[in-house]
Amino acid sequence: MLTPEVSNSIIYIDLNKVGANIDKIRAHIGSEVELMVTSKSYGYGHGLVEPCVYMYRECGVKKFATAALSEALQLRAAGIDCMVMVFGGVPHTGVKALVDNNLVATIYDKQFVKLLAEESVRQNKVTKCHIKVDTGMRRIGVNVGEELQELIEYVKTLSGIEVEGALTQLACPDQPSNNFNNKQIKEFNQAVEQMRNNGLKLKYLHTANSGTTVRLRSSHYNVVRPAALIWGYDTSPGEFNRLGLEPVVTWKAYVTNIRNVAVGETASYSEFFRAKRPTRVAIMSFGIGDGFLKQIVTQDPDKNPNVIINGVKCPIVAINMDQAFADVTDLKDVKIGDEVWLLGKQGDEEITIMDISEKCGVSKSHILATMTSTRPYRVYLK
């Protein structure tokens, strides 16, 4: 049986902080706007199912969204029986499962809508749908005007589906003052008017992700759908953490060995690290296979993320699939078995995803979504 004791790295997720963050987000958006928690990409590394179950049972969250059908099905299997919406494209082979599980569909394509309606009639159900309007992302969706009109008129001929909402995706959500956001919102408003003028009763309208939830009130409508905010990360530039959110995750590994590297000698594959001084390196029990981003570890240690060992920040100097190297030359008394903190606080030092993003020049959202794999053992604190 897997336990923290047998795991090379451990991620701790503080669910109490998740609940506190949700309270702060709700206070910010007000009682007239509903919260739809977006959980995707393994919950941005925090885990998909366990945090959502907690938010559903303990925080009163009654609306969830995922990027993929497979993610939504996992939430259903875990007993989350409120509104669960799938934002992304659904494979045609997955239509039956979507209808079986009473999921809310994003629609923009006639062929998919036809299959969805036929399956809903077959199951004697009415599947709720939200029309995706493409206002500038050029991913999925329909353009306002003729393209949207064709979809509206086609949908009205079908049984088994009900259009209850509309959405769009803002292309510059972390730049709230960007004029392109205003252009997109104006276009979305035109699409909403077009749908309502054609008799569609739109209960839910939503465009806001984390960045615009914090800084662009005009994007709120009556539902916001943040992801990073739930985990304590305001990804917008400028005034940081206006809502007073707390990061909920810490990540720990340990020292597996200590080696000396003489001046001019190298360590790791392809002579990646070359010592410019007599260097002691700590070998650590995590690597690329744990999700740590390879591209943020360069041959210039000054540009690399740090870890904390014995209360001191130490730069990572190389990383392999399963192990990493840190320069501990200036650290006294480091030994095999010492804790290594990749994220979190030890003594007076702290490392957050924001710190890594700013030092390494990598998008905060990119780090959140991709920095941890399923290999680190996850402990959920309540």
- Report the distance separating Cα 179 and Cα 185, nearest Å: 10
Per domain, the residue ranges of the chain are 15-231, 249-351
- Report the distance separating Cα 253 and Cα 23, nearest Å: 31
Domains 15-231 and 249-351 belong to one CATH topology: no
pLDDT digits (tens, 9 = 90+) for 261-280: 999 999 999 999 999 999 99
Q: Look at residue 325 in the predicted model and tell me its pLDDT.
A: 98
pLDDT band, residue 353 (cuts 50/70/90) = confident
Answer whether residue 377 shows pLDDT above 80: yes
Task: Give 255's Cβ-side CA count (13 Å radius).
Answer: 22
Per residue, the 3-state secondary structure of 50-74, as one string, reads HHHHHHHHHCCCCEEEECCHHHHHH
- Report the distance separating Cα 92 and Cα 99, nearest Å: 12
Answer whether residue 237 shows pLDDT above 70: no
Give the mean pLDDT of 172-195.
90
pLDDT digits (tens, 9 = 90+) for 53-95: 999 999 999 999 999 999 999 999 999 999 999 999 999 999 9
Alpha carbon of 137 to those of 96, 169, 264: distances in Å? 29, 7, 49
Structure-token pair, residue 111: 């062929």
Asked if 107 and 167 count as a contact pair (C-beta separation under 8 A), the reply is no
Q: Look at residue 361 in the predicted model and tell me its pLDDT.
A: 83
Q: Look at residue 240 in the predicted model and tell me its pLDDT.
A: 59
Helix %, strand %, coil % of the chain (to 5): 35, 25, 40
Q: Look at residue 131 in the predicted model and tell me its pLDDT.
A: 98
**Type of residue found at 233:** Y
CATH 3.40.50.720 at 249-351, yes or no: no
pLDDT band, residue 242 (cuts 50/70/90) = confident
Give the mean pLDDT of 338-345.
96
The SS3 assignment for 266 reads strand
pLDDT band, residue 236 (cuts 50/70/90) = low
Answer whether residue 238 shows pLDDT above 70: no
Answer whether residue 239 shows pLDDT above 70: no
pLDDT band, residue 31 (cuts 50/70/90) = very high
Query: What pTM did the predictor assign?
Result: 0.93
Architecture of domain 15-231: Alpha-Beta Barrel (3.20)
